[in-house]
Amino acid sequence: MKFFIDTANLDQIREAQELGVLDGVTTNPSLMAKEGITGKDNIFKHYKKICDIVDGDVSAEVIATDFDGIVREGEELAELHEQIIVKVPMIKDGVKAIKYFSDKGIKTNCTLVFSPGQALLAAKAGATYVSPFIGRLDDISTDGLNLISEIRMIYDNYGFETEILAASVRHTMHVIDCAKIGADVMTGPLSSIVGLLNHPLTDIGLEKFLADHKKGN
C-alpha cells in the first residue's frame, strides 16, 4: 500500500518524507489556500518545491471545469515536473479530459469520487488514480469504507489498472481498514501516518528494557 500525505504544508511533507515511508503527496485548492499560496506563479513554484522534497507522485488539481480549460491547465501542470499527476474532478468534461490525458500518456488522479459508478467511469477513461473520499462520506453517515470495497470488487472483476487512492482519510483506523480492503494508496494528514507508530505496550516494554539494561550494567 502506498502512503501519500494530503497537505501542501512543506514542513509536514518533509517530516513524512524523513520517516522514510512516504510515496507521494496530494494537494487540492483548499489545502493550497490554507498555506496562503495564491496566484498561478506561486502555486506552480509551490508544486515544484513539493516535488523537490518527495520522490513520488504529486497531485496538482486543475481549477478549470470545461474540457478545453482542463486540458490547457493540465498540460501546463504536467510540464512543470515529471512527478506531477494532474488531478481532475469527476464531472463530464473531467472524464473527457482524463481520456485525452490518458491517450497522451499524462497521468491523472480523478478526484471527488463518491460512488462506484463514478469510479467505473474514471477507470474506463484511463485514470491513473481514482480518489474516493471516505471521510466526507462518513461525515454524512454513509459508509466510506464500503465504497472502497465496492470499487475494489469492480476493478478486480475487470482487471482495471487504475489505482484506488483512498482519500479524505481522517485517522489511523481509516488507514488500517483501507489496507485490509486492499486500497492501493491512502492519502491522509500527517497524524494518520505517524499515529500508526503508537501502542502503549511498546512504550511500557521499551521503558522496561531500558531500565533492565541499566540495572545489569
Binding site for ligand E4P (CB under 6 A): 6, 26, 28, 111, 131, 133, 135-136, 167-168, 187
Give least dist CB 205 to ligand E4P, A. Answer: 34
Smallest gap, in angstroms, from Cβ of residue 83 to ligand E4P? 16
Which is nearer to ligand E4P, 24 or 116 (by Cβ)? 24
- Give, in order, the Cα–Cα distances in Å from 135 to each of 13, 72, 74: 21, 31, 26
Single out the residue of 169, 168, 151, 170 nearest to residue 160, CA to CA: 151
Work out the angle at residue 85's Cα, subtended by the Cα atoms of residues 64 and 192, and round it to the nearest 5 degrees: 105
Nearer to ligand E4P, 6 or 150 (CB): 6
**Residue 78 Cβ vs ligand E4P, minimum distance, rounded to whole Å:** 17
DSSP label of 133: B
Q: Would you say 86 and 94 are in contact if contact means Cβ atoms under 8 Å apart?
A: no
Residue 143, by phi and psi: left (phi above 0), alpha (psi -120 to 50) or beta? beta
> Counting beta carbons within 10 angstroms of the beta carbon of residue 136, is it exposed (0 to 12), middle (13 to 18) or buried (19 or more)?
middle
Closest CB to ligand E4P among residues 171, 208:
171
- Shortest distance, position 134 Cβ to ligand E4P, whole Å: 9
CB 6 within 8 A of CB 169: yes
Determine whether 87 is an active site residue: yes
Q: Which is nearer to ligand E4P, 12 or 187 (CB)?
A: 187
Beta carbon nearer to ligand E4P, 27 or 125: 27
Which run of H or of E encompasses 108? strand 108-113
Cell of 8: 501542501
Q: Active-site residue among 48, 87, 107, 180?
A: 87
Smallest separation, CB 190 to ligand E4P (Å): 13
| CA–CA distance, 109 with 84 (Å, rounded to integer) | 10
Cα distance between residue 58 and residue 215, in whole Å: 49
Catalytic residues: 87
